[in-house]
Structure 1
Amino acid sequence: MTNDNGKTARHEQLRYEYLLRNLAYLTAREQAEFDYLRRKIEARQVENNYQAPYRSPYQDNRYDNSYDYQTDYDDAADSYYQEEDYWDEDSQYTDQGLPVYVDQEPKRESRKARKAALAASSSGKFKAPKAKERIRFKTILKWAGVLLLLTLAGMIFMFFKGMNDISSGNNKNYKAAMTEVFKGQDTKDGTNILILGSDQRITQGSSEARTDTIMVVNVGNKDKKVKMVSFMRDTLVNIPGVSTEGYYDSKLNSAFNIGEQNNNQGAELMRQTLKNNFDIDIKYYMMVDFETFAEAIDTLFPNGVTINAKFSTVDGVAVDSVEVPDDLNMKDGVVPNQTIHVGKQKMDGRTLLNYARFRKDDEGDYGRTKRQQQVMSAVMSQVKDPTKLFTGSAALGKIYALTSTNVSYSFLLTNGLSALTSGKGGVEQMTIPENGDWIDDYDMYGGQALAIDFDKYQQKLSELGLR
């Protein structure tokens, strides 16, 4: 019996010392257990040694130098166990003096978390959060999660609503575009998307469609950037099955037109041509016609897109405005002009399209390529406005239905918004070829074109991360 009592006392002593080391982080239940063990150990010391009970830095000062060490043990023990605060009916102790463990107690921290908290406390850097603050923080997190889910659900709903407005056939002004054959290939980092701007409405296809917008956009890369490369349409390339073997004798935009004449495979022949000449793999394509572009801009930005209009010299003379062709307002075969002034302004979809297509200044097609990139960057930047979340989703759905593309629903929903908002790292742009970095030449039909160094630009594409 004595041996059992010794083991019990040893276990109680070890438990007491453990609780003492973690005194600042005890739950209410553990605090009650600590108080019980402290009193029991003090009483046991009085019984065995008639010495002052064990004291810690955390005890009160009920014991001092005037303590009578010869006091009878029974009187000393009674003085501990008969205190009102110890045997109070509301203290929830058992008949044996142990604290009652209730289910409502909060969960204990993990051993690792308490150890880290104790270490931080000793260094003076830790400040334990109050219970109310923890509850308030958890509540805020919970409601933030609910709000995020509701917002996401709303965006998905608006996306499919916008798409259904077109694909349902109820809107007689529009027809859903066909998806072309496209044998896309994965790239090493992120996803490459071929973007083509067609001058005709893409519904059931058109063998006469042309493109002066040829871009490859990379999203989802490790740099967390949107990377954009524009290709000048007059660049001399070798088109598989069209060009003379071993010669660069066709303009790049010819690949789109020739492919469209072959069962509407313009995007696929453009993919093959870019792979053949620049060794770049492309997973998806999007063919956006000019009317769809203008309508999408007006849907996203009812008040217009803010942009700083810039033009090069015209015939060597600086200009403060230019006359640009207004193709969307063509009537009876006559294309009117629209005046666009230099400087910061708001443009609607039609004006923004005309600005991006203009090439009659001294920079020619290179200047047009720069303006196309400027327009894309402005749209990506300004669509970050939270008010565009739902109207933007509806516009995306509408564009998706009107656009010939092989981009899947899931990819667009998971990557489309991040692409439109420029990712976390912004937009990185490049033009091929760079300004003046070409030799004037002629294509196989005698038209003026640009001869470039393909090895050089393949290296640049690798450095940008698109190969």
Structure 2
Amino acid sequence: MSRESENLSYHEQKRLDYLYSNYHYLNEKEQSEYKYLKNKSEGRFQDDPVSAIAEESEASSSRGENESDELPVYPSRSRKDKAKSNKKNREEVTGLPKRKKGRKIRVKRILKWIALFFLLIIGGMVFMFVKGLNSKPTGPDAKPAVVEKFNGKKSRDGVNILILGTDGRIGEKSDETRTDSIMVVNVNNKEGKIKMVSFMRDTLVHIDGVSQQNIPEYDGYYDQKLNTAFTIGEQNNNQGAELVRQMLKDNFDIDIQYYAMVDFKTFATAIDTLFPNGVEMNAQFSTVDGEKVSEVEVPDDLNMKDGVVPQQTIKVGKQRMDGRTLLNYSRFRKDDEGDFGRTRRQQEVMSAIMHQIKDPTKLFTGSEALGKVFAMTSTNVPFSFLLTNGLGLVGSAGKGIERVTIPENGDWVDAYDMYGGQGLLVDFDAYKKKLYQMGLR
């Protein structure tokens, strides 16, 4: 009698099976219990054990049986309670829900360990950042960087950051410096890639209040070089980055939210901290006076002494470069490509840094480098942005880096600035469209 009945609980069914299999050995009380359970399994008592027990007692009395031999009292259950009981009984038989509960506990424990792991990583990054922040250069000429006024505007896709590479040195006044590189880096865009646009410093622009008027040849409009905006802005209460931002907005309609001004010493220190073994580069130069070269002599600005800049030899080909060598390589412009060659090398250097920073160990050395950069660099990029987006930027570098130079080599008209210096007159409308297609504006 192993067929289960929907009118019996799990334990009642088990008891009935047991009594049935041992029926010939049952005493009178057990026989009464068997009859009760059998009748109940057939639906005779409608889950009313009180009536059933009374009925069985009357039957027993008529047979002269001892009234003290009562049947077990089986509590009445609602359908809801019965369903819960049946579910519980199945769980006890199969054990599946218990394993499910065990899995939940294990999953929660694993998630807690993962959360703790990430907290430790973040804590380590913050510690290394503070360490770098407090290890800024010392000396009579060392001064903390001044955060400049910058009216940053959000772009429609991702975050645009203006990177200004200056030729300044520690202790040198900002209005004495110039910009070797003007670059906008776009991150956190919908494509998940890093986009990089370099603006040639000799691009001619119009600066209100500075440009001369009534020059017949160019209608007195585009007569200032783009990098001049930085110097003029620095001379106006340290607003070099802001004036460059305005020029890029006025001429290319590009919105920029953050800026960072990186000088010689800051760049070299950050690279040496982030890459103790150097950055892998494949050094490439154009021809010099029409001749191919296997090596070049480049100015070694960081080792300048008494106004004299020594030379450093950089060979063509694959090699590891420390911060000083990487700086000198990216600034060289004495080959036949001139400023275009320098701009190309600067983009190569930035791309190499972003690709090679994917090493997980850079989470900590990188945080220390950022601390040093923050101590030495004028920037309005908040550390919270780097902390929350740093890992994402590493992933973006793996998807590729889109690079553009404005103007492209040969895509300009030769012109002159108001001082007689040769500049580049470009088609601003065409490059506005190009920047729009890239998603930078």
Q: TM-score range with shorter-chain normalisation? A: 0.7 to 0.9
The within-5 A match list for 1:100-249 is 135-166=105-136, 174-201=142-169, 205-244=173-212, 247-249=221-223
- Deviation string 1:48-93 (CA, Å, 9 cap, x unpaired) is xxxxxxxxxxxxxx9xxxxxxxxx9975766899xxxxxxxxxxxx
Tell me if 1:96 matches 2:74.
Answer: yes
- Find the counterpart in structure 1 of residue 433 from structure 2: 459
Give how far 1:426 is off. Answer: 3.4
Kindly tell me: are residues 34 and 297 of structure 1, through their superposed partners in 2, closer, same or farther at Cα, counting changes over 3 Å?
Answer: farther
Kindly tell me: are residues 78 and 269 of structure 1, through their superposed partners in 2, closer, same or farther at Cα, counting changes over 3 Å?
Answer: closer
Structure 1 Cα separation of the partners of residues 141 and 36 of structure 2: 96
Give how far 1:444 is off. Answer: 1.6
Structure 2 Cα separation of the partners of residues 155 and 261 of structure 1: 37
Residues 415-424 or 231-240, more deviating: 415-424
- Deviation string 1:159-188 (CA, Å, 9 cap, x unpaired) is 12221333xx97767321111111111211
Tell me the amino acid that sits aligned with residue 286 of structure 1.
Answer: A
Kindly tell me: are residues 336 and 98 of structure 1, through their superposed partners in 2, closer, same or farther at Cα, counting changes over 3 Å?
Answer: farther
Give how far 1:278 is off. Answer: 0.6
Q: In angstroms, what is the RMSD of aligned CA positions?
A: 3.3
- Find the counterpart in structure 2 of residue 410 from structure 1: 384
- Find the counterpart in structure 2 of residue 280 from structure 1: 254
Kindly tell me: are residues 381 and 172 of structure 1, through their superposed partners in 2, closer, same or farther at Cα, counting changes over 3 Å?
Answer: farther
Give how far 1:216 is off. Answer: 0.8
Structure 2 Cα separation of the partners of residues 230 and 159 of structure 1: 29
Tell me the amino acid that sits aligned with residue 185 of structure 2.
Answer: V
Kindly tell me: are residues 95 and 321 of structure 1, through their superposed partners in 2, closer, same or farther at Cα, counting changes over 3 Å?
Answer: farther
- Find the counterpart in structure 2 of residue 419 from structure 1: 393
- Deviation string 1:278-308 (CA, Å, 9 cap, x unpaired) is 1111111111101110011111111111111
Aligned residues: percent identity?
62
Tell me the amino acid that sits aligned with residue 182 of structure 1.
Answer: F
The within-5 A match list for 1:371-410 is 371-410=345-384
- Deviation string 1:128-154 (CA, Å, 9 cap, x unpaired) is 987666554443332122111111111
| Residue in structure 1 matching 2:10, options 29, 35, 52 | 35
CA contact (8 A) 2:141 2:171 kept: no
Which stretches in structure 1 are left out of the alignment for 5+ residues? 1-11, 17-32, 44-61, 63-71, 82-93, 100-104, 109-127
Structure 2 Cα separation of the partners of residues 37 and 179 of structure 1: 81
Kindly tell me: are residues 131 and 320 of structure 1, through their superposed partners in 2, closer, same or farther at Cα, counting changes over 3 Å?
Answer: farther
Structure 2 Cα separation of the partners of residues 300 and 276 of structure 1: 36
- Find the counterpart in structure 1 of residue 66 from structure 2: none
| Residue in structure 2 matching 1:308, options 282, 307, 311 | 282
- Find the counterpart in structure 2 of residue 352 from structure 1: 326
- Deviation string 1:337-369 (CA, Å, 9 cap, x unpaired) is 111111111000000000001111121111111
Residues 308-317 or 129-138, more deviating: 129-138
The within-5 A match list for 1:2-13 is 13=6
Give how far 1:465 is off. Answer: 0.9
Is the partner of 1:145 in helix, strand or coil?
A: helix
- Find the counterpart in structure 1 of residue 27 from structure 2: none
CA contact (8 A) 1:39 1:80 kept: no
Give how far 1:189 is off. Answer: 1.4
CA contact (8 A) 2:294 2:316 kept: yes
Is the partner of 2:318 in helix, strand or coil?
A: strand
| Residue in structure 2 matching 1:446, options 411, 415, 420 | 420
Kindly tell me: are residues 34 and 261 of structure 1, through their superposed partners in 2, closer, same or farther at Cα, counting changes over 3 Å?
Answer: farther
Structure 1 Cα separation of the partners of residues 170 and 241 of structure 2: 12
Q: Answer with 1 or 2: which has the greater Rg.
A: 2
Structure 1 Cα separation of the partners of residues 379 and 170 of structure 2: 11
TM-score normalized by the length of structure 2: 0.75
- Find the counterpart in structure 1 of residue 95 from structure 2: none
